[in-house]
A and B are shown apart, each in its own frame.
Chain A
């Protein structure tokens, strides 16, 4: 039994399913919970790649803080009924809504499938051309130290600029959601 492959298959299934549900579920709170599952699955990938620190940050920041904030935002927003109501629909209607769109029919699905096909071809090429070896390199002894060193020496400038990006995003979010006359 190849445990690594099994783990990979499990995480992939979890990631794809929950990401799909994030955009198709009609309960907005469920979407937030599925989002948390997506982040956890992604953390699992980082763990499999021996990026322990990234996995921990992924869980703490994304699955923890970000999802909690999303849920808060849903609850604090104007809508009284934040749980979302189940839509009364037949089975065919549900399939239509999930896989198609109102104006474009199944076009989004076709585009998504096309993009997926292109990605698969590209990644097969990558492996075939031998640019990315399938053999894993030696795992870093201590990835936290390595990341910290890179982040605060070589990548210091982008790191500092990111803090400005976050500030600008925060101001922008407040401005765009605040109504005129409200202070």
Chain B
């Protein structure tokens, strides 16, 4: 049945509505944690519900959605990331008096939006998915209502996001005017017959589309909102923004550029190459000066958007495989890192890098896992980040972009600087003589850290299965 494709989305929507209803019966002062656990059950259900759709491939629902390897891979990743965000949220939501029902329901809506985005075969379906994810993200960013920074974050995010959506829509409207279709495959067909791909009008449409997506993935020079938003948002939501919002936008870009605008590859791949270098360099250099760990990771995530864009610059099947693997590794790494930051903020140690002094003696698991995650972000074996970078490296060399590969290598070296700063603070601070107070590992955060840590290492040591999965994604290429 064709609805099999939509079962996970339907399950999540029903669970989200159920959470909202359940929250209405929540008593004053009653803990909302059970809502979070219900949400996790729902997400696990959605993960199982992916199963019936495995055999289905091709466009469904009159060409609105598509079912293929790319969709399947990223839907599964979105749900897994969703489970991790839920796990790290439960204690945080309690501590900060965030309305639990609305928080978890909006998170689920955001994940549904992301799933619609990665499954869209039509620009219209993509756009409503984007808005669903974006609106849920705006509201979640402002959930700390008595925190000044959170309010600043949501305002900046909302205004920039709305502008980006308008720019994307304008680009889409120009493409619609040129080709008479909003279908991604239809765009490709129209450029093959009739529509002149080198027309300056096509270029204008392309510029609008790329600028709009640039905002969404926080590529330089469209990144100015990112640092403040990531810093002010509730920490689990920062993790959500840096992985789900960014990742889903990248996946849609893969389909739009690699499939829909395939005839214009020469134009957009060159533009992406330039954007990639600027983005990774500016992100890494700005991260060097940060005192707040969330702000540092915001700039680091800007730099990572730059690395991922190398796959677009290469514009080959290898590039696509590399990006997919990189997004997988980056998503798990960031989830683990942010889980530890959530644990630190739950313990009242703050978000400043200074607060991480002597963490190795307070909680060895967190300290060592942070080292693993940093290694993965830098791209040092035996972690998943290394393999992701290696695949992108290979792709850029294969596409004769040696300078781009070189820029990646130099940038990885720069990034060692700020990650090492944190590690130094955690391990080498010998000032205080007495044994510091231990920081206990809580069950939920510990689970996230163990899962992501193990996965990051598996991605680095036994990658063949996941490389195979990632290369399946490249099947979307015509």
Contacts and interface: CB of A to CB of B under 8 A. Distances in A.
Interaction A to B: yes
Contacts, number: 93
A157 B64 contact: yes
A161 B138 contact: no
Interface in A169-183: 169, 171-176, 178-180, 183
A156 interface: yes
B347 interface: no
A122 B105 CA distance: 42
B61 interface: yes
Contact of A180 (B110, B124, B132, B145): B145
Interface in B41-85: 61-65
Contacts of B178: 131
A16 interface: no
B92 to A, nearest CB: 16
B421 interface: no
A157 B61 contact: yes
B228 to A, nearest CB: 17
Contacts of B142: 172, 175-176
A164 B61 contact: no
Given A164-B112, A172-B139, A132 B132 contact: no
Given A161-B116, A175-B143, A180-B146, A154 B201 contact: no
Given A126-B201, A153-B62, A175 B102 contact: yes
Nearest to A119: B170
Contacts of A118: 204
B477 interface: no
A157 B99 contact: no
B22 interface: no
Contacts of B113: 161, 164-165
A160 to B, nearest CB: 9
A158 interface: yes
A126 B177 contact: yes
A177 B145 CA distance: 9
A125 interface: yes
Which of A153, A175, A178 has the most chain B CB atoms inside 10 A of its CB? A175
Chain B interface, >50% SS class: helix
B457 interface: no
B379 to A, nearest CB: 36
Contacts of A99: none
Contacts of B146: 180
B64 A172 contact: no
Contacts of A161: 113, 116, 125, 128-129, 132
Interface in A102-136: 118, 122, 125-126, 129, 131-132
Contact of B106 (A171, A178, A183): A171
Interface string B130-169: 0110011011001101100000001000000000000000
Contacts of B174: 122
Interface in B430-449: none
B118 to A, nearest CB: 13
Nearest to B6: A157
A47 interface: no
Chain A interface, >50% SS class: helix
Contact of A131 (B28, B122, B177): B177
Nearest to B101: A171
A167 B21 CA distance: 13
Contacts of B6: 157
B129 A172 contact: no
Contacts of A147: none
B200 interface: yes
A179 B145 contact: yes
B97 interface: yes
A180 B102 CA distance: 14
A168 B109 contact: yes
Contact of B109 (A126, A131, A156, A164): A164
A60 interface: no
B139 to A, nearest CB: 3
A125 B201 contact: yes
Nearest to B138: A172
B136 A172 contact: yes
A49 interface: no
Contacts of A155: 64, 124
B407 to A, nearest CB: 31
A129 to B, nearest CB: 6
Given A122-B204, A158-B125, A176-B154, A168 B145 contact: no
Contacts of A179: 145
A75 interface: no
Given A129-B199, A158-B64, A175 B135 contact: no
The 9 closest A-B pairs by CB, nearest first: A172-B139, A154-B62, A161-B128, A168-B109, A158-B128, A157-B64, A176-B142, A165-B132, A168-B135
Given A125-B204, A171-B20, 10 more contacts: A122-B174, A154-B64, A161-B113, A162-B128, A164-B113, A168-B136, A171-B102, A172-B106, A172-B136, A180-B97
